[in-house]
Amino acid sequence: MPPPTPPPAARSTPPPPSRAVYDLTGRSAFVTGAAGGIGRACAVLLAAAGADVHCADTDEKGLRETQRLITGADGAARAHVHVLDVTDRDQVRAAVASAGAVDILAAVAGIMHTSSVLETSDEDLDRVLAVNFKGVLYACQEVARSMIERDAPGSLITMASGAVDSSGPGLLCYSVAKAAVVQLTKTLATELGPHAIRVNTVAPGWIRTPMTARHDAGQRQRVEATMARLSPLGRVGEPEDVAHTVLHLASDASAFMTGQILRPNGGVAMPW
């Protein structure tokens, strides 16, 4: 009789998830747009996970409030303030250099402008692309160069929008800029992967922030009611909902993810 067939070799499996994978102690994060909204929520949560956080924005007053929220009464958590314009490559380069060894980038800074396609001016398009695309590009370039020079792995996280899946009236500049961010993310992921640098993007749905409040003008209650009704979860999004997605991408829990689009949107596609 032939010898019995040996059982198949056991497959190695990743360890079960644990809270430890979200521990960022000893790591440094650089967050743009950190003076409020999603950027502030990201900075605060990354700090709560143990990261040393560098907060960047044009709004110094808002940055100081973010710093206060991070450090708390005992000052145990560390937050650093960088007042800068993300559209100025030299300012971004200087800030990243002064931050030292950055392990995590959350490029959140962005603006929203509304105009019909036929009324969109060169100034409108240039300004939105400068902040929402070039600002992300500059931050990614400078942080990635630093990681490569140090031969250090890292995570770059960009901020896209649900508008990349379904744009709407008046959102030409915003949607085009955010679509460019998605393609930047995918391209960077292919180029930086050999350096153990992961690059992913977050495309939130409608989130309750100062920016969306300005965009919605006097229609905020109506918009929130509509979005809550369309979501299977029955509510609108908060900045912290996006920040938890950013934390996942910053942490070892997403060690095998790159070039991806994560969509914290409550199950709602933009309804137009």
Are 162 and 120 contacting, i.e. CB atoms less than 8 angstroms apart?
no
- In sequence order, which residues have a C-beta less than 8 Å from that of residue 119 and are 6 or more positions away? none
Give me the residue label for tokens 């920040």.
243
Taking 90 as the threshold, does the pLDDT of residue 84 lie above it? Answer: yes
Which domains does the chain show, CATH number per domain? 23-262 (3.40.50.720)
Beta bridge pairs of residue 57: 83
Q: Which of 174, 230, 243, 254 is catalytic?
A: 174
> Strands 28-32 and 52-57: what pairing?
parallel
- Asked about 138 being catalytic, the answer comes back as no
Tell me: the pLDDT tens digits for 144-171?
999 999 999 999 999 999 989 887 888 8
Tell me: the pLDDT tens digits for 33-67?
999 999 999 999 999 999 999 999 999 999 999 99
pLDDT of residue 268: 84
pLDDT of residue 62: 97
DSSP 2: P
Return d(Cα 43, Cα 24) in angstroms, integer.
Answer: 12
Name the least confident of 15-24, 96-105, 155-164, 231-240. 15-24
DSSP 259: S
Closest CA to 66 of 106, 21, 113: 106
Q: For residue 29, which amino acid is it?
A: A
Long-range contacts of 168-171 (CB under 8 A, 24+ apart): 168/270, 168/272, 169/116, 169/272, 170/114, 170/115, 170/116, 171/114
pLDDT of residue 75: 62
Provide the pLDDT confidence category of residue 226 given band limits of 50, 70 and 90: confident
Using only C-alpha atoms, the chain has a radius of gyration, in whole angstroms, of 20
Query: 194: burial class by Cβ within 10 Å (0-12, 13-18, 19+)?
Result: exposed
- Helix (H), strand (E) at residue 31: strand 28-32
Closest CA to 27 of 56, 48, 53: 53
Return d(Cα 178, Cα 3) in angstroms, integer.
Answer: 62
Beta bridge pairs of residue 159: 202
Return d(Cα 112, Cα 110) in angstroms, integer.
Answer: 7
- Helix (H), strand (E) at residue 81: strand 79-83
Provide the pLDDT confidence category of residue 7 given band limits of 50, 70 and 90: very low
Give the residue with greater pLDDT, 219 vs 53.
53
Summarize the confidence of residues 101-120 as an average pLDDT. 94
Tell me: the pLDDT tens digits for 90-108?
999 999 999 999 999 999 9
pLDDT of residue 221: 79
pTM of the model: 0.89
Closest CA to 54 of 87, 28, 35, 75: 28
Summarize the confidence of residues 8-23 as an average pLDDT. 60
